[in-house]
Amino acid sequence: MTAGGSSWVQVPEGSHFPVQNLPYGVFARPGQAPRVGVAIGGHVLDLAGLAAAGLLEHPGWFAAPALNAFMAAGPAAWHPARARITELLTDPRHRARVEPHLVPRAAVELRLPFEVADYVDFYSSRDHASTVGQIFRPGSPPLPRNWLHLPAGYHGRAGSVVVSGTPVIRPHGQLLTAGAAAPAFGPTQRLDFEAEVGFAVGVGSPQGEPVPAGEFARHAFGFMLVNDWSARDIQSWETQPLGPFLGKSFATSLSPWVVPVAALAAARVPPPRQDPPPLPYLDCAQPWGLDLSLQIMLNGHVVASPPFRTMYWTPPQQLAHATAGGAPLRTGDLFASGTVSGPGPAERGCLLEMTWDGTRPLRLPDGATRAYLEDGDVVRITATAPGAGGVTIGFGSVEGRVAAAG
């Protein structure tokens, strides 16, 4: 049985990549240069090959090691390309010419899909922020005073963004252990994951010109999964007064497939009610909550299923706030949501929350326990969403194995 809609490509039941999805990525065959492709079922459709065969326009967009040139071309290029790829995969008359450009996904190496220009990580889940506040500020209001007024965030390190599957080396930094009079330098003992969803900017903007929330779809190319690895002990010592630095800058993992904004039209839902009402520059008339269902696995065991639809601050509001002071957008800018968490214990998106900062260790089905991550642990995050025509589409996965400190 297949779940490929009207596509002539055989798509296995439960695949994240029916024809209603068509996420973009970069792949390489052994011994060949990387190029742009689209995921369909268990295959990658070689867009560079299609363009060379005259089946797609603008071969320079696709015979490239990154998506940036295509991303920069904007909606006037994205929409026709998506329509043409859909036509090639659904009209049986094209099968004979297109099928030779289908490559089994197991036969290729997936690369980082785009060159990251800048990276911003937000703090957009009210449930996550509230739980963190309860952990670190018991007896006080859980949310900082500004949290309900703006999408808080910090600037990350673009050069540390890596594709799914890249080992994550346990980082070193300054640590202040309980009862110590002074910090020491060494590997983190409280390594954590953060399940997040990010979006990539395609079309940039001039410096000094804020981008209104209503223009989100003119700039945003697509969405992907993010794991914002965190060294909690390094982070807690260095954060005062300027925020995360070494505790966050060592690695951020990205899923290899970028789901186009157009593929998520059926997943859009009204976001949670915002009270107090946001300032006018954050107004967003369109419903830009996304009904995404995340799943977090630790060493093959499902440990949480956070819902993205409960996120308080939406992607258009994040973009509007990031540019409100005049900061320009650049092709390849990455914006991540912050930890995705829901109100229940089974919906928490990081070990900090799950284990109450290590004081309530998590027990896995095999009997092992974890306060924080140990060397050799593997974290895998997946997500699905409603797609056109009632099908389910997905994001693939973002995965990383913890490697011992060097």
Shared domain for 168 and 187, answered yes or no, is: yes
Q: What confidence score (pLDDT) does residue 353 get?
A: 98
One-letter amino acid identity for 55? L
What are the pLDDT digits (tens) for 295-316? 999 999 999 999 999 999 999 9
Residue 296: inside a domain = yes
Shared domain for 125 and 173, answered yes or no, is: yes
Shared domain for 163 and 296, answered yes or no, is: yes
* Arithmetic mean of pLDDT over the chain: 97
What are the pLDDT digits (tens) for 274-286? 999 999 999 998 9
Residue 373: inside a domain = yes
Assess whether pLDDT exceeds 80 at residue 232.
yes
Q: Tell if the pTM clears 0.95, that is, is over it.
A: yes
Assess whether pLDDT exceeds 60 at residue 211.
yes
Assess whether pLDDT exceeds 80 at residue 1.
no
Q: How sure is the predictor about 209, in pLDDT bands with cuts at 50, 70 and 90? A: very high
What are the pLDDT digits (tens) for 83-118? 999 999 999 999 999 999 999 999 999 999 999 999
Q: Which domain holds residue 124?
A: 119-403
Residue 361: inside a domain = yes
Shared domain for 201 and 341, answered yes or no, is: yes
Shared domain for 324 and 271, answered yes or no, is: yes
Shared domain for 262 and 355, answered yes or no, is: yes
Bridge partners of 401? 378
Give the whole-angstrom CA distance, residue 401 versus residue 166: 7
Shared domain for 149 and 36, answered yes or no, is: no
Q: Read off the CATH number of the domain in which 154 is found.
A: 3.90.850.10
Reading phi first (left if > 0) and then psi (alpha if -120 to 50, else beta), residue 78 is in alpha
Helices (H), 273-402: 315-323, 351-354
Shared domain for 324 and 356, answered yes or no, is: yes
Shared domain for 135 and 89, answered yes or no, is: no
What are the pLDDT digits (tens) for 333-392? 999 999 999 999 999 999 999 999 999 999 999 999 999 999 999 999 999 999 999 999
- Lowest-confidence pick of 37-41, 122-126, 150-154, 240-244: 240-244
Instruction: Give the residue carrying structure tokens 């997905």.
Output: 394
Region 14-37: mean pLDDT is 98
* 128 part of the active site: yes
Q: How sure is the predictor about 406, in pLDDT bands with cuts at 50, 70 and 90? A: confident
Q: How many CB atoms lie within 10 A of CB 208?
A: 10
Catalytic residue among 16, 43, 128, 321: 128
Residue 3: inside a domain = no
Assess whether pLDDT exceeds 90 at residue 5.
no
Assess whether pLDDT exceeds 70 at residue 148.
yes
Give the whole-angstrom CA distance, residue 331 versus residue 93: 36
One-letter amino acid identity for 329? L
Contact 252, 122 (CB under 8 A): no
Shared domain for 101 and 214, answered yes or no, is: no
Residue 19: inside a domain = no
Shared domain for 90 and 147, answered yes or no, is: no
Shared domain for 198 and 237, answered yes or no, is: yes
Assess whether pLDDT exceeds 50 at residue 177.
yes
One-letter amino acid identity for 336? A
Last residue of a domain, one of 91, 111, 131: 111
Q: What confidence score (pLDDT) does residue 240 get?
A: 87
Give the whole-angstrom CA distance, residue 93 versus residue 19: 16
Assess whether pLDDT exceeds 60 at residue 254.
yes
Region 43-66: mean pLDDT is 97
Q: What confidence score (pLDDT) does residue 4 get?
A: 43
Domain count, the chain: 2
Q: How sure is the predictor about 2, in pLDDT bands with cuts at 50, 70 and 90? A: very low
What share of the chain has pLDDT > 70, as a percent? 99
Region 186-190: mean pLDDT is 98
Q: Read off the CATH number of the domain in which 107 is found.
A: 2.30.30.230
Q: 403 φ, ψ to 5°?
A: -105, 150
Supply angle C-alpha 8, 20, 315, rounded to 5: 160
